[in-house]
Structure 1
Amino acid sequence: MKWESKLVSPYNGLERRSFWKTGVSETHPLELTDIYVKKFEIGRNDRIATAGSCFAQHIAHRLRQRGFQVLDSELPPPDLDTETAKRFGFRLYSARYGNVYTVRQLLQLIQECSGLRRPSVTVWEKNGRFFDALRPSIEPDGLCSVMAVVEHRAQHLSRVRSMLEQTDLLVFTMGLTEAWIHREDGTVYPTAPGAIVGSYDPLIYTFKNFNYDEVLQDFLELRNLLKALKSDIRFMLTVSPVPLTATAGHEHVLAATTYSKSVLRAVAGYLAMSFQDIDYFPSFEIIAGAQARGFFYESNLRSISAAGVDVVMRTFFREHFGSVESVAETPHNEVQSARCSVAAIDALQEVFCDEMLLEAFAP
């Protein structure tokens, strides 16, 4: 009898998605269909709140377009046109908190609206006008007095708390690990003092680059606080694929970007593996992964193309609802036209990203 040997390995019988050749190198950027498997269902009646870096604006906009109940606790005046409303921070997220780049920034916002912290410096000035230092781009022309800013912020915090108490699912896009903080009380600001308004004083403000342990502990504390407000809240985490505009550290901006995204992705992965109420959606991998071959970035290698956002959201909706967006069947020979078809992808509003203002300081 002839004896035949057969290799036995735990890799026998795994899916195509488990191997680099079949899951990545042989996959077209527009056909990455099996990278995401949902952890839980998202219902049409679930009340969804969105927050995070500028990439999260795309997610919020697409969810609204598809008829989901995306909360909006600070609606614009009815006679305000769309562009002006966006300029004043309306309809970008579920409240007018602007871009929330770091987990610590979101944690402190929740602490503040829960009465657990009180920042020592909340008002910055420019040319005789006054701005909320914790959301400096929301009132682009500023307000007439410090008291006006204080009153506006108190109203904002009340709306945020009300929104969080209703939220069934928080979609949070983790953007950065770098931040500028107040030396004495640790308050994190969304922009560097002096970048938009205010002025930089090294005796008052300092640069901070959060590490893995700090980001993880911040999110765990954040989760506990939100669970106290609404015990059945769930979380959808993503990592922004948008690179840093600039770094205040000593590394090259490319190395700084790699560090920041690696830390955030590692934290998000750990949280998703550890908690049933936390899911991770791989928008970062879809846009920045090797299989994309750089196709989803614009010429500045930073802005996300229309086709990129479309593929991200098609992946999300296909997994959750078995349906795709209107441009789901993009032929291989129409890759270039897909890159240029912004008008055909009506969900792709231009996002507001105040971090991009740092480009003005480049030599």
Structure 2
Amino acid sequence: MPRSDVHPEFHFESWQVWPGSYDNPPASEAIYPFPDVPALKINRGTPIASMGSCFAREIKDVLIDKDYSYIREEAGHPASKHASAAWERTYNAFSMRQIFEYTFDEWRPRVHWWKAPVSGVIQDPYRRIILYGSMEEAGADFERHRLASRNALKRAEILILTFGLTEIWEDKVDGFVICLPAGPYVNEGGDMSRYRFRVSRYQENLDNMERIYELMKAHNPRCKLIVTVSPVHLWATFRKDLDVISASWNSKATLRAAVDEFVSRHDNVFYFPAFEMAVTYRVILGKPLFTEGREPFHVNRETVDFIMDNFFRMFSTE
């Protein structure tokens, strides 16, 4: 008589099976269940650069605090707080690609600067609310920044990229992507008619990652990449068809799928599961993962510590 073998027998490693299911060990309070140790290893002498969205700042701060050789160009610049140069927070893969293009290639947006219509303040549309007193000051600072950006990316033996979201504001004329529709120019009624909001999709995000890889391979071929998806959710969405929670998960899912394909294509690109550690593993442990107060979309200190402890466990020889 026909029958169904509901649970065929396979041999799995413990990290291949959901923690605590059947005979698998429960989730560890301290150790995330990684697969085999990756080929990439770092120590305190390894030059490391990083950029990305809000969680990139956490990575930077911990690496510096633990005395790793974190690359810091433009250290006194207000836009360098979150990364290895004055890139500011880089929320989407388009803005990140543009950094590599203005660093290593031709980059000529038709509108490079905004001038606030009331105060006359000069604003960089492509980096998060960086302001200047004049066009001359803005131009000179950007040229210094391009050199610093080049120095940081060419010095790095490890580059950590943290991807955050898929919502973009795009110039309808030349296709360049601004950081955010915010700051004095927008607040004072500057003309935003040339820009449109849209949600970017899987293939174009993957294409951005490949463009970054292409430029790094050409200008710093020894550099290895660690990529991750930020565990910090969207504070708000510009979408009118989805609530913020659904929009945030769409961003994260799209980026996670693109990153998976990106990593699979290159032997010198590695994935670090910061997102999964926060939004799934910490939940399995029954631990709170979000901050309290005004920023409950951001992961809390305990979650950051858990993620970074496992980062060193996965990659460091120290």
Asked whether the two chains share a fold, i.e. TM above 0.5, the reply is yes
Structure 1 residue aligned with 2:29:
30
C-alpha separation in 1, matches of 2:72 and 2:28: 34
C-alpha separation in 2, matches of 1:210 and 1:316: 29
Structure 2 residue aligned with 1:70:
70
What's the Cα RMSD here? 2.4
C-alpha separation in 1, matches of 2:162 and 2:8: 35
Across the two proteins, how many residue pairs are aligned to each other?
A: 302
Summarize the Cα distance change of 1:48–1:322 in structure 2 as closer, same or farther, 3 Å threshold.
closer
1:166-245 to 2 correspondences below 5 Å: 166-192=155-181, 195-199=182-186, 201-245=191-235
Q: Note the C-alpha offset of 1:51.
A: 0.2
CA contact (8 A) 2:102 2:146 kept: yes
C-alpha separation in 1, matches of 2:121 and 2:296: 35
Give the gaps of 5 or more residues in structure 1: 1-6, 77-84, 324-363
Give the gaps of 5 or more residues in structure 2: none
CA contact (8 A) 1:48 1:69 kept: yes
Q: Note the C-alpha offset of 1:90.
A: 3.5
Q: Note the C-alpha offset of 1:293.
A: 4.4
C-alpha separation in 1, matches of 2:286 and 2:262: 28
Structure 2 residue aligned with 1:162:
151
CA contact (8 A) 1:130 1:145 kept: yes
2:246 paired with 1:269: no
Secondary structure of 1:170 counterpart: strand
What are the Cα deviations for residues 43-99 of structure 1, in whole angstroms up to 9, with x where unaligned? 3332111100010111111111222111112122xxxxxxxx7xx233421001100
Summarize the Cα distance change of 1:71–1:105 in structure 2 as closer, same or farther, 3 Å threshold.
same
CA contact (8 A) 1:165 1:230 kept: yes
C-alpha separation in 2, matches of 1:11 and 1:38: 28
CA contact (8 A) 2:56 2:162 kept: yes
Moved more, 243-252 or 279-288: 243-252
2:278 paired with 1:287: yes
C-alpha separation in 2, matches of 1:251 and 1:236: 31
Secondary structure of 1:304 counterpart: coil
Summarize the Cα distance change of 1:293–1:8 in structure 2 as closer, same or farther, 3 Å threshold.
closer
C-alpha separation in 2, matches of 1:292 and 1:207: 38
CA contact (8 A) 1:29 1:291 kept: no
1:1-363 to 2 correspondences below 5 Å: 11-22=9-20, 27-28=26-27, 30-35=29-34, 37-76=37-76, 88-126=78-116, 127-138=119-130, 142-192=131-181, 195-199=182-186, 201-249=191-239, 250-289=241-280, 290-293=283-286, 295-299=288-292, 301-321=296-316
Q: Note the C-alpha offset of 1:107.
A: 1.0
C-alpha separation in 2, matches of 1:119 and 1:190: 13
C-alpha separation in 2, matches of 1:177 and 1:60: 23
2:306 maps to a residue whose letter is: V
C-alpha separation in 1, matches of 2:236 and 2:153: 32
What are the Cα deviations for residues 309-333 of structure 1, in whole angstroms up to 9, with x where unaligned? 000011111223367xxxxxxxxxx
C-alpha separation in 1, matches of 2:185 and 2:151: 30
Secondary structure of 1:31 counterpart: coil
C-alpha separation in 2, matches of 1:10 and 1:32: 29
Q: Note the C-alpha offset of 1:216.
A: 0.5
C-alpha separation in 2, matches of 1:201 and 1:294: 46
CA contact (8 A) 1:235 1:277 kept: yes
Secondary structure of 2:162 counterpart: strand
1:135 maps to a residue whose letter is: R
Structure 2 residue aligned with 1:351:
none
C-alpha separation in 1, matches of 2:44 and 2:198: 40
Secondary structure of 1:237 counterpart: strand
Q: Percent identity?
A: 26
TM-score of the superposed pair, with normalisation by structure 1: 0.77
What are the Cα deviations for residues 165-216 of structure 1, in whole angstroms up to 9, with x where unaligned? 2121110100011111211111111212xx2232264521111211110011
Summarize the Cα distance change of 1:320–1:222 in structure 2 as closer, same or farther, 3 Å threshold.
closer
CA contact (8 A) 1:167 1:233 kept: yes
Moved more, 161-170 or 230-239: 161-170
